[in-house]
């Protein structure tokens, strides 16, 4: 199985956009599997919080990791 990942837009008619370079790779395919992963706003805030916290992390702090 091959997998391609890209960000898509939902078009006004309800279809998903497909990048032009990927359309050529899909020609002739009889069946494809589509998986939708929607960004969760809470997860985005959580990831942002962790990223901001880790900016203040120092190698000197590593001694506390084993406590």
67 part of a folded domain: no
6 part of a folded domain: yes
Q: What is the pLDDT of residues 15-52, one digit of tens each?
A: 999 898 888 888 776 788 888 877 777 777 777 888 88
pLDDT at residue 4 greater than cutoff 70: yes
65 part of a folded domain: no
Helix/strand/coil (H/E/C) assignment for every residue in the chain: CCCCCCCCCECCCCCECCCHHHHHHHCCCCCCCCCCCCCCHHHHHHHHHHHHHHHCCCHHHHHHCCC
Q: Give me the number of domains the chain comprises.
A: 1
8 part of a folded domain: yes
Region 2-24: mean pLDDT is 89
So what's the pLDDT on residue 29?
64
15 part of a folded domain: yes
pLDDT band for 11, please (50, 70, 90 cuts): very high
66 part of a folded domain: no
Q: What is the pLDDT of residues 50-67, one digit of tens each?
A: 888 877 777 777 777 777
Residue 26 domain boundaries? 1-59
53 part of a folded domain: yes
Kind plus residue range of the DSSP H or E element containing 21: helix 20-26
């Amino acid at each position: 199985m091959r997998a391609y990942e890209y960000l898509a837009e939902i078009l006004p008619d309800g279809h998903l956009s497909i990048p032009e370079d990927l359309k050529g790779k899909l020609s002739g395919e009889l069946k494809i599997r589509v998986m939708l992963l929607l960004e969760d706003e809470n997860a985005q805030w959580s990831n942002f919080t962790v990223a901001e916290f880790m900016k203040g992390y120092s190698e000197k702090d590593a001694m506390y990791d084993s406590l």
